[in-house]
Amino acid sequence: MLVEIERNDAVGVVTLNRPSARNALSRELIADLAEALDALERDAAIAAIVLTGREVFCAGADIAEMRGIDLATALAEDFSGCCDRLASCTKPLVAAVEGYAIGGGCELIEMCDLVIAGASAKFGHPEIALGTLSGGGGTQRLARAIGRARAMDLVLTGRLIAAAEAERIGLISRVVADGTALAAACEAAVQVAAHPMHAVRFAKQAVDRAVSVGLADGLALERRLFHLSFAAGEFLPRLEQFLARRGPVR
């Protein structure tokens, strides 16, 4: 299974389980993640959800899988390379990050409500180096989280930042010692789950509304531009260069 579910009383733990590819977001993994979230949303006993990754959190979209996508395919599938299902989850989501949360992985944490990271974790949006941009909300949610100037810095340079800087600029909630992010995230989820469920849901909706006015239009624009990058003549050659440097993934 590419995604595992564990239920600990009122907390559901979802683990991305593709460590050989640093939990890259293949179509299959994205579908499995959406299915896992659906199952936990339906489970009345679950009040909060923790999202984590085996060995590392998530190093982004499955670049090798994107090799065969052209503009027509991107448009027909409304392809994003990420799991948008997190954004519509009504139960609180707590991300536990060790290692990398970059590209699509960074988009995942931007859809979560709390993000707790190990001190050595790295964050960023390096898509620009491949000749494309985020397709799963990275430009829109990032700017809302950290402001235009800082978002422009990360998106246009493609640089990665450490957990301490990510916390300082407001991208993540807390930094903990390496190897303890999952335990800290589960502890936070237990605290959330202990509160009245309707109050938690209402509070989550209220905060989301405060920072997402106009988000739908921004997301639609980002997706169109992402799709167009498949036809601009820059993305696929750089993708091939990247895959040649990286070598095969088991």
Which positions are catalytic? Answer: 61, 104, 107, 127
| Whether the Cβ atoms of residue 11 and residue 46 lie closer than 8 Å to each other | yes
According to the 3-state scheme, what is the secondary structure of the chain? Answer: CCEEEEEECCEEEEEECCHHHCCCECHHHHHHHHHHHHHHHHCCCCCEEEEEECCCCECCECHHHHCCCCHHHHHHHCCCCCCHHHHHCCCCEEEEECCEEECHHHHHHHCCCEEEEECCCEEECHHHHHCCCCCCCHHHHHHHHHCHHHHHHHHHHCCEEEHHHHHHCCCCCEEECCCCHHHHHHHHHHHHHCCCHHHHHHHHHHHHHHHHCCHHHHHHHHHHHHHHCCCCCCHHHHHHHHHHHHCCCC
Helices 148-157 & 138-146, crossing angle to 10 degrees? 140
